[in-house]
Structure 1
Amino acid sequence: PEQLFAAGYSACFIGALKVAGQQLKVKVPDDVAVHATVGIGPRSQGGFGITADLAVDLPGVDREQAQQLVDAAHQICPYSNATRGNVDVTLMLA
C-alpha cells in the first residue's frame, strides 16, 4: 500500500507544482520529477504511522525559485493537506 500512496502523492505534487508555478509566474519544466518514499512503522506514541519523503527535481529552475515552488505546492497539494499534522513529510530539492 505504501508504494501506491507514494505514486499518488508524487503525481499529485507535480500537479500542485504546476499550479504553484502559474501563481508565482515561474515556468515549471516539462521534465519535473517527484520521487516519493513512503514508510510504515511503529510510532513513539504507540501504534503505527506513515512517513513520506519527497525529492523534487526542477531542472533549470534556480534553487531559490525551486524552494518557493516546493513550499507553495506543499500548501496546494491535496495529499499534503490530507497528511498535514498526521504524517511526517520531508521535502527535499534533488
Structure 2
Amino acid sequence: MSNQGAVTVLIEIHGKDGQEHEARDALLHAIRTSEKPGLISSTEYEDLADPGAFYAIQVWENAEAFRAHMDDAARSGMNEAIQVLREHPRTAVLRTIG
C-alpha cells in the first residue's frame, strides 16, 4: 500500500461540563466500533490542562476515504454522540509538506 495520497486527520471534541466522561467514552466507542475502510491508524488523546478536551489523530489512505467515513457516520447516528459535546467536533485534514 502506498501512502502517497495519505492524509492525517485531527479530530477535537469538548465535552459539556459534567459530561466529560460520556464525551470521552463516545469518542472511543465511535472510533473502535465503526467500520472504517481506508483508516491506517488512530491514536486518541486527552488534554491534561482541559479535562473535557479529547483528540484523535488518524492517518487515512486518502481524503476521500475520510470524507466517505464521515458521510456514513452522519447517516448512522453520530448526532446522538454529539449531544454530550459543547460544540460540533472540529476536524482538520492535513497533508505533509516538504
Task: Report TM bin, short chain.
Answer: 0.3 to 0.5
Of the two structures, which has the highest relative contact order with CA contacts closer than 8 Å and spacing of 6 or more?
2
Question: TM-score normalised to the size of structure 1?
Answer: 0.42
Higher helix proportion (structure 1 or 2): 1
